[in-house]
Structure 1
Amino acid sequence: MSVSLGRFQDAFVEALQGVEPEGSEDAEWMRALTKQPGFAVYRNTVMKGCVDALRANFPTVERLVGPQWFAATAAHYVRRSPPVLAQLIEYGVDFADFLHTFEPARELPYLADVARLDRLWIEVFCAAEQPRLTLNALASQAPGGLAGMRLRPCAAVRWQWFPLPVFTIWSCNRERTDLPQPLVWQGEGALVCRLDGCVGWQTLSVGGRTFLDACAAGHTLDEASTLALRAQPELDFTDLLARLFAAGVFVAEYGDPMSNGDR
């Protein structure tokens, strides 16, 4: 029986995922293929490679649940969502969404968001390098133009707000430190940024998140700071700005009219 290469490849991938070609004209030759001793070895090797990729991409999740639980859960995910890209560092984009609806993870309501933070780390790690705006450069601006500046977050920064103390759980496991006792079960934000080749992270307040959201939306420094203080009246804005610049959050756009409020 003559089979086109594309048809063979599609059927082969389905067979690796355990899809039986019953009722199709491919059933007979695919059954013959899958009965070969080497096919089971190949299928197991592919599965292990995918699980290992998820283990590497979501190390905090694995530390929280243990290797056995993670491997079994990852195998469920692999069968449902096999890789579509050769770069396995990109594998697991929707792993957090999978965990959110995965019944065995229901008793761990923070687990999906921990996976989201692991994913943010990957995105920051892989982001393009850009020159960063320094606090000295900001301070050198004329007072009249400072309020109208637009600070644009760089490509290698991510931030997110979580309804549970996910950042504390995630960062303590990443840093291999003990969780604070008692752990306060309240929402908190997370900021992840890469500077000089190193990925760092820090907690982010409501005001900090609001400020970064406003900067990303194109608001001026004056507008963004006003929104941040409205969201968190007790915010120490000077301290927030210093921490953001120390982390290298903003991209340098010297000579760009968008960076001096002319937009």
Structure 2
Amino acid sequence: MNGNYHAHFLQALCDGDSADPAMQALLAQPAFAVYRNTVFKGCVDALAANYPAVRRLVGEAWFAAAAQAHARAHPPQDACLIAYGHRFPEFLAGLPQAQALPYLHDVARLDRCWSESHLAADDPAIDAEALLAALSAGRDLLLVTHAATRWHWSDAHPCYAIWSTNRSDDSPAAIAPEWRGEGALLTRPDGQVLWRPAGLGACRFLDACRDGLGVAHAAGSALQADPQLDIAAMLGALLQAGAFTSFHPIH
């Protein structure tokens, strides 16, 4: 088999054209057109399922056109499409037709956070009492985020208010949020994805934990972002939400 067969096949699939003689013969077959339509419909359907808030904001026709364009630019690499579309938020950020909706890629990132939280592995809940005892003893610790924990902060847009309002079909679509930066935290403590607003300090704290930094450094990052932040209250809220799975002492 030609070593470039896969590349030629993808070109024929995405563009409906190819200079390769074998692909030209394939494209001439009516069944291949049916196959192409089926593949793209599957991609559009998968994106529609994975990005419901985006779909609700822009409408079915706009979403279908954007999803088809994304599928042509980023065809699936796996036959299972349940997790398809990890590049869709960045694709929307660069899509000329989306420039009138500058918050759309942030909403898409929260839709993606939900999918990743839903599909993540099961982790045990952190031993909160043991953690608090270790912190009370003055030990610096590394907090490990739960596999299903996701968060996102937007400096410019009220992404949480827009996303949470449009996440379910039975919620009102018209809102008038205060136009300022917002963040969100998504967790799955009991098998169901839950979401809540998250401040900049909490998001920076989680960023530091994800990057392997200790609680002391993470708290410093949080306070630098939000000098008025109550670290104890923030950590308590994160623990209650199920954001962490374990902790380790830093030697």
**What TM-score comes out, normalization by structure 1 length?**
0.84
Give aligned pairs, total.
249
- 1:30 is displaced (CA, Å) by 3.5
Contact 2:126/2:245 (<8 A) preserved? yes
2:13 aligned residue? 16
- 1:65 is displaced (CA, Å) by 0.8
1:199 aligned residue? 193
Bigger drift between 4-13 and 69-78 goes to: 4-13
1:34-53 → structure 2 map (5 Å cutoff): 34-53=27-46
Q: Deviations over 1:84-122 (max 9, x none)?
A: 122312321211111111111111101111111111222
Q: Deviations over 1:216-253 (max 9, x none)?
A: 33443344334423432322333312211111111224
Q: Distance in 2 between matches of 1:173 and 1:67?
A: 14
What amino acid is the match of 2:230? D
1:44-193 → structure 2 map (5 Å cutoff): 44-141=37-134, 143-145=136-138, 147-162=139-154, 163-175=156-168, 176-178=170-172, 182-193=176-187
1:256 aligned residue? none
Contact 1:59/1:118 (<8 A) preserved? yes
| Structure 1 residue runs without a partner (length 5+) | 254-258
1:244 aligned residue? 238
Contact 1:54/1:91 (<8 A) preserved? yes
What amino acid is the match of 1:17? C
1:212 aligned residue? 206
Instruction: Describe the SS at the equivalent of 2:15.
Output: coil
Quick check: which has more Rg, 1 or 2? Answer: 1
| Structure 2 residue runs without a partner (length 5+) | none
Structure 1 residues 30 and 150: alpha-carbon distance in aligned structure 2, compared to 1, 3 A threshold: closer
What amino acid is the match of 1:159? W
Structure 1 residues 179 and 137: alpha-carbon distance in aligned structure 2, compared to 1, 3 A threshold: farther
What amino acid is the match of 2:18? P
Q: Distance in 1 between matches of 2:82 and 2:226?
A: 37
1:228 aligned residue? 222
Identity %: 45
Instruction: Describe the SS at the equivalent of 1:88.
Output: coil
What amino acid is the match of 2:153? W
Query: What RMSD over aligned residues (CA atoms) do the two structures have, in Å?
Result: 2.4
Structure 1 residues 68 and 225: alpha-carbon distance in aligned structure 2, compared to 1, 3 A threshold: same
Q: Distance in 2 between matches of 1:7 and 1:227?
A: 49
Contact 1:168/1:179 (<8 A) preserved? no
Contact 1:134/1:245 (<8 A) preserved? no
**What TM-score comes out, normalization by structure 2 length?**
0.88
- 1:181 is displaced (CA, Å) by 5.3
What amino acid is the match of 1:15? A
